[in-house]
Amino acid sequence: MHFIPHEFDLNLLIVFDALYRNKTVSKSADAIHISPSAFSHALNRLRVLLDDPLFVRMGGEMQPTKRADDIAPFIFEMLINLSSQVFEKKKFDPLISSQSFTISATDYTAFCVIPSLIKKLKSSAPNIKLKIIFQNMALSFEDLKLGKIDLILGYSEQLDSSSGVNITTCFTDKYIVVAPKNKYAAMSLHHYANANHIKISAWDDHDGIIDNLLKSRNIHRKISLEVPNMMIVPYLIESNDCIITLPLRAISILNSSKFDVFDLPFPEIKYTVNVYATKEDPQQWLKHQIISLFE
C-alpha cells in the first residue's frame, strides 16, 4: 500500500529535481520544457502539498531548505528507478543476461529442440534459464501476446501477422506409421482404416491434420486410446496391439527394433514445426538460436 495523497501530481517531483539541480526558475523551466510561469505555479502547488517553502531565493539563486535537502536523495532515486525500470528499454546482451524464457511446447517439439538448444547456449548465453510448459495451444497464443510466455514451438497453425506474433518455420518432417513387430507385411489403406489407433492430442485438440485428411476422403479410423504426449507410446504399442501415426523424427524416441515402420498409405503429409515469438529483442534472439539448429 502507499499513502500518496490523491491530489498529488508525480510530475511535481520532476519540478523539484529540476530546481534542485539548476538553482533558478528560468533554467529549470527550460530543462523540462515548460514556461517559467507554469514552473512557478507547479512549485507553489508542491510547497502547499508538502507544507514547506522547499526553495528560498538567496543571492540570485533558489536555495533548498532543510526539508528539501532531506527528501532530495529519495526523490532522485525514485526518478532514476522510474526511468530505468519503466521507461528505459534495456539492451539485451545474452552473454551476461540471466533472463528466464518460458517456452510452450509439446513433448515432441521439446525433444527435437531443447537438448540441442541447451548445448548451444552453454557458451553463448551461460546464465540464460529456460522453462518448458505444456498447455492448450489457444491459451499459449493468448499468453504469448500478453507477454506471459516468450515462445511457442508449435505446429503450422496460421496466425494473422498483424497479431504481433512473428512466425518462422523451424523444420519440416513427414508422418510415418509405427506398428507392432511382424503384425503387418505392408500398411495398406484398408489395414490403416481398420486398425486400432493410438492418437496423441498434444495441444488438447481433438482433430488434427491426419483426421481432417481422412474425413475429407470419407475415411474414419478407430481411436482406441488418446494420450497427451508420446513418451508412453512405446509401451502402449507393445501391450495393446495398436498402431500410431508419428512424425519421422520421433523414431529416435522409440526402440525401433521392437516395431515396424511404414509410410502412410495415402499421399504424404508434411509436418511443419514453427517458432512463434513476439518482436521483442530477447525473444527474437532466442528464436534465431532455435532456427540455427536446423539450418
- Does residue 214 share a domain with residue 129? no
What confidence category does residue 3 fall into, taking pLDDT thresholds of 50, 70 and 90?
low
Percent of the chain predicted with pLDDT > 90? 46
Q: Which residue intervals of 187-258 are DSSP H helices?
A: 189-194, 209-216, 233-240
Q: Is 164 part of any domain? A: no
The DSSP 8-state label assigned to residue 250 in this structure reads G
Distant-in-sequence, close-in-space partners of 250: CB < 8 Å, separation ≥ 6? 108, 111, 230
Q: Is 94 part of any domain? A: no
- Does residue 139 share a domain with residue 69? no
- Does residue 235 share a domain with residue 179? yes
| Average pLDDT of the residues of the chain | 86
**CATH classification of the domain holding 122:** 3.40.190.10
Who wins on pLDDT, 191 or 9? 191
Look at residues 87, 118, 133 and tell me which one is the last residue of a structural domain.
87
Q: Is 20 part of any domain? A: yes
- Does residue 249 share a domain with residue 213? yes
Q: Is 16 part of any domain? A: yes
Question: How confident is the model over 10-47, as pLDDT tens digits?
Answer: 889 999 999 999 999 999 999 999 999 999 999 999 99
Q: Give the span between the Cα atoms of 46 and 38, in whole angstroms.
A: 12
User: What's residue 64's pLDDT?
Assistant: 94
User: What's residue 160's pLDDT?
Assistant: 47
- Does residue 193 share a domain with residue 131? no
- Does residue 72 share a domain with residue 27? yes
Q: Which long-range contacts (CB under 8 A, 24 or more apart) does 36-44 make?
A: 39/15, 42/9, 42/11, 42/12, 42/15, 43/15, 43/19
**CATH classification of the domain holding 32:** 1.10.10.10
Phi, psi for 99 (deg, rounded to 5): -65, 145
Question: How confident is the model over 142-173, as pLDDT tens digits?
Answer: 899 888 999 999 876 545 444 568 889 988 88
User: What's residue 221's pLDDT?
Assistant: 86
Q: Per the structure, how many domains does the chain have?
A: 3
Q: Is the pLDDT at 205 greater than 80, yes or no?
A: no
CA-nearest of 52, 68, 66, 58 to 18 is: 68
Q: Is 259 part of any domain? A: yes
Q: Is the pLDDT at 245 greater than 80, yes or no?
A: yes
Look at residues 32, 59, 87 and tell me which one is the last residue of a structural domain.
87
- Does residue 277 share a domain with residue 153? yes
Domain that holds residue 201: 171-271
User: What's residue 255's pLDDT?
Assistant: 65
- Does residue 237 share a domain with residue 187? yes
- Does residue 73 share a domain with residue 135? no
Which pTM value belongs to this model? 0.67
Question: How confident is the model over 219-234, as pLDDT tens digits?
Answer: 888 888 888 887 778 7
Q: Is 266 part of any domain? A: yes
Residue at 99: amino acid letter: Q
What confidence category does residue 130 fall into, taking pLDDT thresholds of 50, 70 and 90?
very high
Who wins on pLDDT, 154 or 70? 70
Give the angle subtended at the CA of 78 by the CAs of 75 and 80, to the nearest 5°.
110
- Does residue 139 share a domain with residue 184? no
- Does residue 199 share a domain with residue 244? yes
Who wins on pLDDT, 3 or 271? 271
Look at residues 62, 87, 112 and tell me which one is the last residue of a structural domain.
87
Question: How confident is the model over 253-288, as pLDDT tens digits?
Answer: 676 678 899 999 988 777 788 999 988 889 999 999
Helix (H) or strand (E) segment spanning residue 108: helix 107-124
The DSSP 8-state label assigned to residue 80 in this structure reads H
What confidence category does residue 246 fall into, taking pLDDT thresholds of 50, 70 and 90?
confident
Q: Is 165 part of any domain? A: no
Q: Is 93 part of any domain? A: no
User: Is-contact 276 165, C-beta < 8 A?
Assistant: yes
- Does residue 258 share a domain with residue 247? yes
